[in-house]
Structure 1
Amino acid sequence: MLIKDFRRDFYDVLQHQRVLVLVAFDVDALCACKILQYLFQCDQVLYTIVPVDGLQELEHAFLENAEGIRHVILINCGAAVDIVEMLQPEDHVRFYICDSHRPVDVHNFYNAVQVKLLMREDELSSMPAYDDLFRDDGEDESEESDSENDDPETGYKRKRFDDESIIRRQDRRRWNESRVKTLFDYSKFTSYGTSAALMMFELAWKLSKDTNSLLWLAIVGVTDQFVHYRTPRDKYMEDIMSLQSHVSRHNQRGADDENIMSVNCLRVSFEEELYLPLYRHWKLFDSICHSMPIACKLRLWSLKGQKRLHEFLAEMGLPLTQCKQQYSAMDTAMRSEVKVKILEYMNKYGLEIQDVIIPSFTMQYGYKHLLCATDFVYAAAAALESVDRLRLPTDNFLAATEILQRCVSRKIEAGLESAKLQLRGVVNQVQSFLDMHQIISAGPFLYVCVQEGTADSRFFSHPQCLLRLARYTLQAHCSVSRNKRVRSLPLVLGAPLSIEEGRSIMVGIPPLDTDDERKNFFGKAFEQAAESTNTVVRFNSFDSHIIEMKTEDRSKFFDALISILQ
């Protein structure tokens, strides 16, 4: 059931109760969790937080912690499955789902007792009507039993097939067929709604408990959705504009000295930010080379592309000696003109405004480094998907939490360095795909697989990094391909998950032509391909377009996928 008043029907109900919070492994969910954690600490609500990395862990975490729990909050997990059917809870347990995954399972939406949805009403407008999904067949069953008579010869029940019962059977069959079609049409595309962190911040605002720190967490959550291609640019801009008014309210600076904010306070400001990953903490040259839009437009993986980049920098008046040292060590005058120069010469090199500029926010805490929202997203995502085999998933979750706390600067620096390694791994792998001509057109889609034993393959066993690789690969291939149809083709990317066990992870992303919608159809396609080939596929991720399977079954799975999508 959709909740309209979050304060009355959600937060006030939790007062003086013990709450279980299940959090997905993504930055948006982590930010939402920290906002909710702050609210609980303000009102002394007892809570237990458990990170869950997939449906199997969600089920296990609930069974382990369900004793004595009446209220369970799920952040960025649980909306796309029938949560009551999956977890089999006691009748008194209530689930509160704040999840950006769409579509929402119809049973969750129409369960008025045990499931409460913390979502925006306009994002669930495509939900099918109740009568199209559910019907009470009690009357039909009773009428059928009345139509049974005792056979005088045998003494057994004999069913009387009169015209009315036949009509009822036909009507029920037609209704079932219509229901199957309605459910398929509703669930054939997956997408994302409003950031969970933004929803939790709006709750804090309504409770008059919002702070600059919570606002920054909401900003990072919204930025995470954009960085990981969950929402289109228009939706991102809409959320950013709604947050800008809160930024102005919390970061007022008056003309009088008394009204100027203290240096030790967190300061958040809105900026037209350069769309260059981690450039303030890297070398400008490296940051440009690892920027997906610029790298794909200039084709920086080729010698000709590198030459064009050198020409671009020279025309802007930025010497290579300056660009190849740390950005913070660049000449101050040159550093201040980087954005202006890029905007001045970008059109000459085929770049557009959205390739080099992203409206975003920056924060500064005391005299520490200026950080933008994308820096936090990359650093926290790298911590969540650490490739250190000695670390447990909960260790990664805590490390990402410490990065978002801002006070542990060494954790932030470690996260930024891990993010650089990830970005290098992605770029190297894309260049390998292109050099080896490994991207294959299967007709209705493109596919490519990361080879086992590749130096950077350890990064791609994690879904977020794999998703970034898939997007980079598709955009790079479209930039070099002479086939005009390639922009309308989706991509399926596979990578080794466990070489010892012979398992692979696979992700499917939509074509670039549908970038304005960000709707993904691979969830249903993967499901149908698995059924038609009897392939053992593990749908463990909260994103149905990310699956796990045996590496040896990959070829026959691709064959089935081709026949389904043709």
Structure 2
Amino acid sequence: MFVKNLQNDFYNVIHGKQCLILVNFDVDAICASKILQTLFKNDNVVYTLVPIQGVKDIVRKYCFNTFQIEYVILINCGGTIDVIELLQPEENVTFFILDSHRPYDLANIYNEKQVQILGDPALEEDIPEYNDVYKDDSSDEDEENISDEEHESNQAKRRRLTEAKILKRKEIRQWEEKRNNILFNYTQYSYYGKSSAVVVYEMTWQMSRDNLDMVWWAIIGSTEQAILSKAESSTCVLESGNLQGHVSRLSRTRGGNVDVQQLSAIKITYDKDLQLALYRHWSVADSIRHSIPTAVSLRLWSLKGEQRLRELLAEMGLPLAQSKQQFTAMDLNLRQEFKEMVEKLADKYNVSSIVGASFTLQYGYRFKYCASDIVYAMLAVLESTSKDRLPQLCFLEASDCLLRTKKEVLDKGIERAKNMLVHIYKTAKNVLELKQVTNAGTFLYITLSEGILHSHLFSHPHALLMLAQFTLKAYVESSRNKRAAGWPLVASAIFNEQEGTCLIVGIPPVCEEQPKSLFGRAFEQAAKNTNSILEPDYFDATIARLKIEDRPKFFDALAALLV
């Protein structure tokens, strides 16, 4: 069941109660939980926060932490699965689901007792009517019972009764066929809805409890959706405009005068900026090379691309030595003129997409970060799990990147983000140079071999997703085939060599304005057709694990399905 009024039907309900918060491993979920935790701390609400990595993990963590808990909050997890069937809770337990994954499971939507979805059903797409997918069979059973009791010897009446039963079965069969078509159309595509951090922030605004820190966390959650192409660009622009309105409101007092004391502590600006990854904390040359828009437009994986990059820097009047220095160490005049330099040459070098608007947070003299800087840092920290770094530690460090008092944690995260982007670029370059992008007819796929450098990085979904997006855009840019823009891509990398499993992710074609992917259902059907061992353990249906030995026949079945 949907909950529209979050203050009355959600926050006021859990206020003063002990809650369990299950948070998915993604930036948006962490930002949403951070806003919620701030409210809870101010109201002295007792809660337990547990990070969740997948479907199996949510079952294990729920069973371990459910003692004397009546209210469970699921952030970016649980919306696409039947939580009641999966978790088998007590009847007094209520689940509040705040999930940006779509589509929602219908069992959650039509459960009026234990499941509350935080959101407006009017904003959702094509939710089937209850009577179209659920049917009460009691009436049919009653009719059959009555027919048996009124058994008559008259042959004509028996025949009429038989015909009535045949017609009834035909109606049921037609209803089931219609239901299957409706369910297929509803679950055919996997996509993302509104940022969970933005949803929670809007609740705090309606409660008149919001502040600049909260709106900044909502901005970061929304920015993650833009960077990972979870939402279409027009939606991201509209959301940025709404958040900018909140920033302007919070930066002023009720009388309309600027609150000087507040602005001296924290200042958020929304202005024209360059969409270059981490350029304020990197060198100009490295930032241009490892940002997807510029790397693709300049074709930097080729020798001609490197020459084109040197020409761009020379035409900007930026000496090679300066371009290789840390941005903060460049000459002051060059730093101040850098944006204008790029804007003037953006159209000539086909990199106009890197000129846009973005949010920047300034706190004191040394703390100045763009929203995308923090997103990249948090993604890199989340993806840095290893034998020595437990997932819980990575989750806490990523959460600390949001705190202004933890600047050293954020700076370490930015260094990790640089390494992540470098390895993504190098791997994509190798894949393109060695022509390892395979055309299966209806889609493209790449498989990363076991021996590649830093292969452990791509055993994590976000890094593999970013590699897939980089590779697909680069392939389309360099391909002579006009149909290339309409092909989706599947990327696969080793997940656990000892267990013989690989990670697969599927992304939609670059021509799609709305980033909806059909790979969720396609993966499931291909595994069923080939008896492959598929583990859909992620809340995003387009990410799954597969036995390496099953991968060749799985891709063949996928190609047959997508004809």
**TM-score, normalized by the shorter chain, greater than 0.5:** yes
Give the equivalent residue in structure 2 for 1:232.
232
In the other structure, the counterpart of 1:546 is 543
Question: TM-score, normalised to structure 1's length?
Answer: 0.96
Deviation by residue 1:195-232 (Cα, 9 ceiling, x = unmatched):
00001101111111101111110000000111111001
CA positional deviation for 1:38: 0.5
Q: How does 1:56-71 map to 2 (within 5 A)?
A: 56-71=56-71
Q: Any residues of structure 2 matched to 1:187-198 within 5 Å, and which?
A: 187-198=187-198
Q: Tell which deviates more after alignment, 203-212 or 117-126.
A: 117-126
> Shift of residue 151 of structure 1?
10
Aligned to 1:162: 162
51-60 or 114-123, which moves further after superposition? 114-123
The alpha carbon displacement at 1:456 in A equals: 2.2
SS in 2 for 1:23: strand
Q: What does residue range 427-506 of structure 1 map to in structure 2 within 5 Å?
A: 427-506=425-504
Is contact 1:17-1:45 (8 Å) kept? yes
Match of 1:306 in 2: 306
**2:553 aligned with 1:556, yes or no?**
yes
Deviation at 1:373, TM superposition (A): 0.2
Provide closer, same or farther for how the CA distance between residues 38 and 259 of structure 1 changes in structure 2, counting only shifts above 3 A: closer
1:363 corresponds to which of 361, 364, 368: 361
Task: Give the letter aligned to residue 556 of structure 2.
Answer: D
- TM superposition shift of 1:388: 3.7
Specify the SS of the correspondent of 2:451. Answer: coil
Question: Could you tell me which residue of structure 1 aligns to residue 132 of structure 2?
Answer: 132
Tell me how far apart the structure 1 counterparts of residues 177 and 528 of structure 2 sit (CA, whole Å): 19
SS at match of 2:492: strand
Q: Classify the secondary structure of the residue corresponding to 1:349.
A: coil
State how far apart, in whole Å, the 1-side matches of 2:306 and 2:138 are. 72
Which residue of structure 2 aligns with residue 38 of structure 1? 38
**Conservation of the 8 A alpha-carbon contact between 1:147 and 1:159:** no
Given that 2:251 and 2:258 are in contact with CA atoms closer than 8 Å, whether structure 1 keeps it comes out as: no
**CA 1:270 to 1:554, structure 2 compared with 1: closer, same or farther past 3 Å?**
same
Report % sequence identity: 42
| Cα separation, 2, equivalents of 1:475 and 1:430 | 11
Q: Secondary structure at the match of 2:540?
A: coil
- The Cα offsets for residues 273-329 of structure 1, whole Å up to 9 and x where unpaired, read as 211000000011100000111111111111111111111111111111111000000
How many Å separate the matches in 2 of 1:503 and 1:3?
40
2:320 aligned partner, one-letter code? L
- Aligned twin of 1:48: 48
CA contact (8 A) 2:79 2:102 kept: yes
* Counterpart residue number, 1:520: 517
Distance 1:123 1:5 in 2: 14
1:366-403 deviation per Cα after TM superposition (whole angstroms, max 9, x unaligned): 12231000000000111111144201111111111111
> Aligned equivalents of 2:252 and 2:273: distance in 1?
21
Query: Unpaired segments of 5 or more residues in structure 2?
Result: none
**Hey, what's the Cα distance between the residues in 2 that align with 1:334 and 1:257?**
35
Q: Structure 1 residues 308, 66: closer, same or farther in 2, change over 3 A? A: same
**Worse overlay, 420-429 or 135-144:** 135-144
Correspondence for 1:24:
24
- What amino acid does structure 2 have at the position aligned with 1:560? A
Deviation at 1:253, TM superposition (A): 9.2
Are the counterparts in 2 of residues 506 and 548 from structure 1 also a CA contact under 8 Å? yes
Task: Please give the per-residue CA displacement for 1:445-490, whole angstroms capped at 9, x wherever unaligned.
Answer: 0011111021121111111111100000000111111111111001
Q: CA deviation at 1:255?
A: 13
The separation in 1 between residues aligned to 2:49 and 2:382, in whole angstroms, is 16
What code does the residue aligned with 1:173 have?
A: R
CA apart distance, 1:83: 1.1
Q: Where do residues 256-295 of structure 1 align in structure 2 (5 Å cutoff)?
A: 259-261=259-261, 265-295=265-295
CA positional deviation for 1:177: 1.0
Partners of 2:384 and 2:88 lie apart in 1 by 33
Residue 529 (structure 2) aligned to one of 527, 532, 554: 532
Equivalent residues of 2:385, 2:394 under 8 A apart: no
Q: Which moved more, 1:235-244 or 1:343-352?
A: 343-352
What aligned pairs does 1:72-471 form with structure 2 within 5 A after superposition? 72-148=72-148, 162-252=162-252, 259-261=259-261, 265-352=265-352, 355-471=353-469
Does structure 1 retain, via aligned residues, the 8 Å contact 2:220–2:375?
yes
The structural deviation recorded for 1:258 is 8.4
Deviations 1:492-545 (A, max 9, x none): 11000011211100001110111x100110000001101101111000000000
SS of the residue aligned with 1:540?
coil
For residues 502 and 474 of structure 1, the distance between their equivalents in structure 2, rounded to whole angstroms, comes to 26
* 1:5 counterpart residue number: 5
Does the C-alpha gap of structure 1 residues 497 and 241 become closer, same or farther in structure 2, counting only changes over 3 Å?
same
Paired amino acid for 1:465:
A
Per-residue CA deviation, residues 221-250 of structure 1 (Å, 9 max, x unaligned), is 000111111001111011100001111112
CA drift at 1:145: 2.7
Q: Distance in 2 between matches of 1:261 and 1:285?
A: 38
SS of the aligned residue for 1:128 comes to coil
Letter in 2 for 1:541: Y
SS in 2 for 1:406: coil
The secondary structure found in structure 2 opposite 1:429 is helix
- Change beyond 3 A, Cα 1:450–1:159: farther
| Structure 2 counterpart SS, 1:404 | coil
